[in-house]
Structure formats: structure tokens, C-alpha cells
Amino acid sequence: MADAARRALLEGLIDHAPLFPPASLPLEEALADHRRARESPHGWLVRRFVCPASKLRELGDEPLALSVVFDEEVPLDDPRIEAVELPPDREPRALSPETYVEIRPAADLAPLAAQGLRAKVRCGGSSVPSVGSLAGLVRRCREQGVPFKATAGLHHPVRRDGSHGFLNLLAAAIFGDEERAIAEADEGAFRLDADVFAWRDRSASVEAIAAARKDLFVAFGSCSFVEPAGDLVSLEFLPA
């Protein structure tokens, strides 16, 4: 397959969250934005539509794959729900086969690992974790077998102006050497070929990429689809 590495690295990477800041679109506009994303040539980058539990009743019969942010107690009997995200003030408990618990980068992962829960880390917004703290979380998730997703602040593929990049997180998950990978600010240090993802002098096969995506860095939440997809086109990680 000519684009096997591209698919392994990027397919289903984006949990689309146009209902959330900074986009904060009204529901109908958010759903329309999500349809445009899914129907675009790069729609395969989208994993799920992120929706607060408090808005589930308003979704109608829109065909969606949902990740639900559990902001209030509601029945989770909608068959479209594939994942649940628990805010930091909620008791960690399994509410779906994929339950993500928002934690601080320095949090103890043992309670999540013991329950088969996943981690969710905020990479921007009101507080941006340091390179060291984010690298430490990736390392501990790997060591303790806790898959994670990221959210907030990942507006670009590669680190810039003090903001983290999602290609940096992918490199940290795939190659290890987490601090150097997350601190990398040179776009030219990353390369994607038909069957290899490379960062500087390191390269990973399709199988290694797929394993890291499945078992470690699963996805990141973004209120925009156009921005990350457009940046990947500019980097030639996606065709124009």
C-alpha cells in the first residue's frame, strides 16, 4: 500500500471538537462543520465527534461516532457512543470500553492502570505543561500500559512559540526519547515516506507506528479540522 505509513500514523488521529473552545460553535454549526470534515478528501483523519453529555439529547439521528465528555449524569445508552471522557472532578470509573480520565501530567497512573482506564492530558489552554512534565507522562503511560489522548493547545503539528505539536507527541510515543521529541521545533526533522515515519536519525516501520497509535497515543482533540489538516498538507505529510 503506497501510503501505509501515512495511514498508520494519521488515520483517526483527530477527535473533532467544534463545540468546545476556542471554536465554541452552536450545535447545528458544529455538526455541519463535522460533516464537511468527514466528507473532505482527508476526512479519514477524523476519529470521533466530541460532545458534552448534556447535549446528547439534541443530536437527533445524525450518524456519528461519539466521544462523550461526561459533564453531567445521563444514560449512556446511545449506540453511537464509542468513548467517554471524564473531567478531573469526576470519580474515575469505567463508563465505556474506552474511558479517558483527564489528569495532570504528574498524576499517579496506577489507579487508571488498575481499572483499565485511559488518560487524557491537556496540552494548552490556561496552563501549558512543560516539555519535561509532558514527556514524563508519555514515558509513564508507556511503562504502565495506559493509552492516552491529548487535548487543547495542539494547533500545529510541530512545536512553535511555546505550544506543543502533535507530531512531537507522535514521535515521543513511537521513538521514546520523550523530552527531545517533544522539544523538537524543526519541522524538517520529521519525514514521512510510503512505509516509514522518521524523526532525525530514527525511523519506524508501519507496524511500529500502528502499535504506538493503538497502545499509547491514540488521538488528540481539536476544535478545528481544517487547521491541522492544512498544516499537514504544508508539511507534505498529506497530498494537496
230-239: average pLDDT: 97
pLDDT score, position 126: 85
pLDDT tens column, 130-178? 999 999 999 999 999 999 999 999 989 999 999 999 999 999 999 999 9
**How many CB atoms lie under 10 A from the CB of residue 96?**
16
Give every CB contact of residue 91 below 8 A, 6+ residues apart in sequence.
Answer: none
Percent of the chain at pLDDT exceeding 90: 97
237 part of a folded domain: no
Q: How far is CA 91 from CA 55, 104, 191, in A?
A: 21, 15, 41
Provide the grid cell at 186. Answer: 524543526
Residue with the three cell numbers 460532545: 51
Percent of the chain at pLDDT exceeding 70: 99
239 part of a folded domain: no
d(CA 57, CA 78): 10
pLDDT score, position 172: 98
Give every CB contact of residue 73 below 8 A, 6+ residues apart in sequence.
Answer: 53
160 part of a folded domain: yes
| Counted domains in the chain | 1
pTM, whole model, 2 decimals? 0.96
Identify residue 129 by its one-letter amino acid code. P
159 part of a folded domain: yes
240 part of a folded domain: no
Q: Report the chain's mean pLDDT, rounded to a whole number.
A: 96
9 part of a folded domain: yes
- What CATH number does residue 125 fall under? 3.20.20
pLDDT score, position 142: 98
238 part of a folded domain: no
**The domain containing residue 224 runs over which residues?**
4-232
171 part of a folded domain: yes
d(CA 85, CA 90): 10
